[in-house]
Amino acid sequence: MPLDYVSEPVVKDLIHYGRALDLTDHAEPPTWEPSWGKLWNLQEALSAIQPIQPDSPLYAPAQAKAADWQAQIQDLTQLHYANLTASIGHPLTLQLAIDQASRVAPARPRRLQAQTLVAHWGQEIERMDDRPYLRIAEKLATSGTIAAFQQAIGLANQILPNRALRQEAQTAIAQWQDQIEILEDKPILAEAQTLAAADKLQEAIDKANTIPPDRALHAQAQAAIDGWQTKLDEIEIAADRPILIEAEELAAQQRYTLAIEAASQIGSDRALYDQAQAAIAQWQIERQALLDQWALEAPASEESGYTDYPPTDEYSGVEGGAAIEDPLY
């Protein structure tokens, strides 16, 4: 409508209508509980549009809004009474509040809020029904024995999966199960620690490894094992390092077979095994290369009348330079 043709009554109606919309557009508190402030604003909005007459161009939209606001007022009033009933905090009054809120029909504007309240009060009833089981279970668990924890778990398991306290019960059950596992496995870890203190490191590691991965003390056992394994590796390295050094010295003299035999003394369960095997592989390559070189040089030496390839004094395995089957000793 062009502003030139807006009459004074229409301007007043616009003011009334705008005020009503402003009242109803106020954000509700972030809660599912019915708000007295919202109810008051809806009533004020209805009062604000009362002066709009049927001949006003704003009458039809105002009446449509009024119908919705009136329905909301009715729903909110019913929900307020239900909320007051629920505030008594007894299972019977909570059930009565649920019955009252359930009367808000599916097509009503406050149906979602009503259903949210119904769900909340239903959970409150479940908490009141199941809390005694959990309290008794918690009291049993304070004894700190395996039998007490098992009884507590059995009692807490009576709280079914779809109940409000189910998650809390399952959290407690998990903690009690951990305590049972600790009580069961602690002697094993203590025995392993005793073995380690007596320098029986491998036995200590084997004992601690009997604690399965899904047990409460597994991480603690593995941390202890890591420490013992490090110490065991240090001992093994100290014992095997001279062997490897000797083998390296032999290899430096091109006495590869003796070097390989020496390094092979380091077993597969020892800390220096991988290093020894890598050295052996390299020496095997170097030995073969040297044999190939001698094979190529042998014909030339025969033509010149010199046949001592390889030199038996340097590579012989027996005193006096007597030749043996493998010349790389």
User: What does the pLDDT read at residue 5?
Assistant: 46
- What confidence tens digit (pLDDT) does each residue in 149-187 have? 999 999 999 999 999 999 999 999 999 999 999 999 999
More confident residue, 38 or 245: 245
User: What does the pLDDT read at residue 31?
Assistant: 64
More confident residue, 47 or 79: 79
Read off the tokens for 242: 């001279």
The structure's pTM equals: 0.65
More confident residue, 175 or 315: 175
- What confidence tens digit (pLDDT) does each residue in 218-271 have? 999 999 999 999 999 999 999 999 999 999 999 999 999 999 999 999 999 899
User: What does the pLDDT read at residue 30?
Assistant: 56
Helix locations, the chain, DSSP H: 8-24, 36-49, 59-86, 91-101, 111-141, 146-156, 166-197, 201-208, 218-252, 256-263, 273-304, 312-315
Query: What distance in Å separates the CA atoms of residue 154 and residue 259, rounded to the nearest whole number?
Result: 66
Average pLDDT score over the chain: 87
pLDDT of 209 > 90? The answer is yes
